[in-house]
């Protein structure tokens, strides 16, 4: 079986079918998520927190990401796999391309990077590397932000996110993750853009949803964020929790208002 492509995701947006996505870091969960019919697996640098037990994502190295991307892609059959570019591995276009190439060679079909990095995005796309943008809360900038909080609340901040999203699309990004922004803002951006917008803590009107796997399975070492949900409650098998998550995303039952800002 051939994995889904960026064209399949674009078609889902056009047809109004919600895209379900979860993070994974190893082969066993990758296979379970794939079997549940979840379309996108993100090898997130959140692995620094949930897998390595670090306080942030900043310690994650390119080698860590290559290793986990290999583990995940070894076991998936249908899901499209996106690998995060870790902290400071995309300071300039050429450096970014050299590093992104290693993630693609590890089996990723797309890389994700944080921020308004239009030149880097354009260069990667020119080299044949599909790029997913990431706006709103950017965990790699946590020391500048001073905490994991909602972004785009003030009008000027919201306008900047809207403009950056548009410019990322123009630079050639084919997917966008919006993290921790007001639901209304995410809805507006999702409607504006032609490319699919995947939300996390961004309300129900995005084109898809993503969660950190260990949060929704309630096995995280840290506190589960308010925008996430424990899909192991009432008690179910892991496979059922994954497929319930997929179904809840498809039917727009997740995220509910209590998970949104």
Residues engaged in binding Na ion (CB under 5 A):
44-45, 84
Backbone angles phi, psi at 204, to 5 degrees: -85, -10
User: Are the C-beta atoms of 118 and 168 separated by less than 8 Å?
Assistant: yes
Residue ranges in 13-32 that form contacts with ligand KIV under rule CB under 6 A: 23
d(CA 215, CA 53): 14
Residue 199 forms beta bridges with which residues? 178, 209
Q: Which is nearer to Na ion, 37 or 115 (CB)?
A: 115
Element (H, E) at 65: helix 62-75
Q: Which is nearer to Na ion, 120 or 243 (CB)?
A: 120
Q: Does 72 help bind ligand KIV (rule: CB under 6 A)?
A: no
CA 126 to centroid of chain Cα atoms: 22
User: Are the C-beta atoms of 135 and 157 separated by less than 8 Å?
Assistant: no
| Interaction partner, residue 23 (ligand KIV, Na ion, none; CB < 5-8 Å by kind) | ligand KIV
- The CB-nearest residue to ligand KIV is 44
Q: Does 210 help bind ligand KIV (rule: CB under 6 A)?
A: yes
Residue the block writes with tokens 């000027």: 156
Q: Does 44 help bind ligand KIV (rule: CB under 6 A)?
A: yes
User: Are the C-beta atoms of 75 and 30 separated by less than 8 Å?
Assistant: yes
How many chain residues touch ligand KIV (CB under 6 A)? 11
d(CA 128, CA 107): 14
Q: Does 212 help bind ligand KIV (rule: CB under 6 A)?
A: yes
17, 114, 179, 251: the catalytic one is: 179
Q: Does 64 help bind ligand KIV (rule: CB under 6 A)?
A: no
**Residue 157 CB, nearest distance to ligand KIV (Å)?**
19
Q: Does 215 help bind ligand KIV (rule: CB under 6 A)?
A: no
Question: Among candidates 4, 41, 6, 11, which has minimal Cα distance to 26?
Answer: 41
d(CA 237, CA 219): 14
Q: Which is nearer to Na ion, 129 or 243 (CB)?
A: 129
Q: Which stretch binds ligand KIV (CB under 6 A): 43-51, 67-75, 91-99, 248-256?
A: 43-51
179-206 in b/e form (b: 16+ CB < 10 A) is: bbbbbebbbbbbeebebbbbbbbbbbbb
Q: Does 228 help bind ligand KIV (rule: CB under 6 A)?
A: no
Q: Which one among 135, 177, 178, 197 touches ligand KIV, defined by CB under 6 A?
A: 177
Residue 179 annotated as catalytic: yes
Q: Which is nearer to Na ion, 34 or 84 (CB)?
A: 84
Q: Which is nearer to ligand KIV, 27 or 155 (CB)?
A: 27
The sign of the CA dihedral 158, 11, 210, 69 is negative
Q: Does 84 help bind ligand KIV (rule: CB under 6 A)?
A: yes
The residues binding ligand KIV (CB under 6 A) are 23, 42, 44-46, 84, 177, 179, 200, 210, 212
User: Could you list the active site residues?
Assistant: 179
């Amino acid at each position: 079986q051939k994995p889904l492509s960026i064209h399949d995701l674009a078609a889902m947006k056009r047809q109004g079918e919600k895209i379900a996505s979860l993070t994974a870091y190893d082969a066993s969960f990758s296979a379970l998520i794939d079997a549940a019919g979840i379309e996108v697996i993100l090898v997130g640098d959140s692995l620094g927190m949930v897998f390595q037990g670090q306080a942030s994502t900043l310690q994650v190295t390119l080698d860590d990401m290559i290793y986990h991307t290999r583990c995940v892609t070894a076991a998936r059959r249908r899901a499209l796999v996106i690998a995060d570019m870790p902290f400071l591995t995309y300071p300039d276009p050429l450096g970014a391309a050299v590093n992104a190439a290693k993630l693609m060679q590890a089996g990723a079909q797309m890389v994700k990077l944080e921020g308004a990095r239009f030149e880097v995005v354009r260069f990667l796309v020119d080299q044949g590397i599909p790029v997913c943008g990431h706006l709103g809360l950017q965990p790699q900038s946590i020391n500048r932000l001073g905490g994991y909080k909602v972004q785009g609340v003030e009008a000027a901040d919201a306008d900047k996110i809207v403009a950056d999203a548009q410019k990322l699309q123009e630079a050639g990004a084919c997917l966008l993750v919006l993290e921790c922004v007001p639901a209304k803002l995410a809805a507006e951006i999702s409607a504006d853009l032609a490319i699919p917008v995947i939300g996390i803590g961004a309300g129900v009107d995005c084109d898809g949803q993503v969660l950190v796997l260990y949060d929704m399975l309630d096995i995280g070492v840290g506190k589960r964020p308010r925008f996430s949900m424990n899909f192991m409650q009432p008690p179910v098998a892991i496979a059922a929790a994954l497929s319930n998550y997929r179904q809840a995303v498809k039917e727009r039952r997740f995220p509910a208002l209590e998970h949104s800002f």
